[in-house]
Amino acid sequence: MIHFKKKHHFKFKKKLDFSKHILKFGSFGFKIKKAVCINYKQKTFIKFFILKIVKKIINNKIKIFFYSKCNYNQTKLPLESSMGKGKGEISNSFGYYKAGFLFFEIKNISLNNVLQLKNFLNKKKIANFFLIY
């Protein structure tokens, strides 16, 4: 009897010792609560929003380490095309992040300011973050 392996669309490790779960450079990290697809526009919006909030809250210099990448491409065919005309042109790029993925880290910041930043980010509802340190 031949057994075939089941193919999955996204190949991720299911263990918690996955390398994207551990703090490496910063003192505080933001993890994602639920699995989510974030496109390139949302990712850049999160980056600029973080930098804007950090400038308002803090006067001294801090370091931010981002780990998110948009690895997958979304394609779209024109409306008039019939079947069998290929895959279509790339319309958007996105990244799939599973629950517990370390989205970014922050260094040289106090706990009170980090909690304030977390509340601002969770109000935007792009992704729900929780704090690790």
Checking if the pLDDT of 15 tops 60, the result is: no
Cα separation, 130 vs 31, whole angstroms: 5
pTM exceeds 0.75 for this model: no
pLDDT tier, 16 (very low <50, low <70, confident <90, very high otherwise): very low
Checking if the pLDDT of 66 tops 80, the result is: yes
Q: Phi and psi of 131, rounded to 5°? A: -100, 140
The whole-number average pLDDT for the span 111-130 is 87
Task: Name the one residue in this structure whose structure tokens are 């005309």.
Answer: 85
What H or E segment, with its residue span, contains residue 36? Answer: strand 36-39
Helices (H) and strands (E) in the chain, counts: 2, 7
CATH architecture of 23-132: Alpha-Beta Complex (3.90)
Q: What is the mean pLDDT of the chain?
A: 80
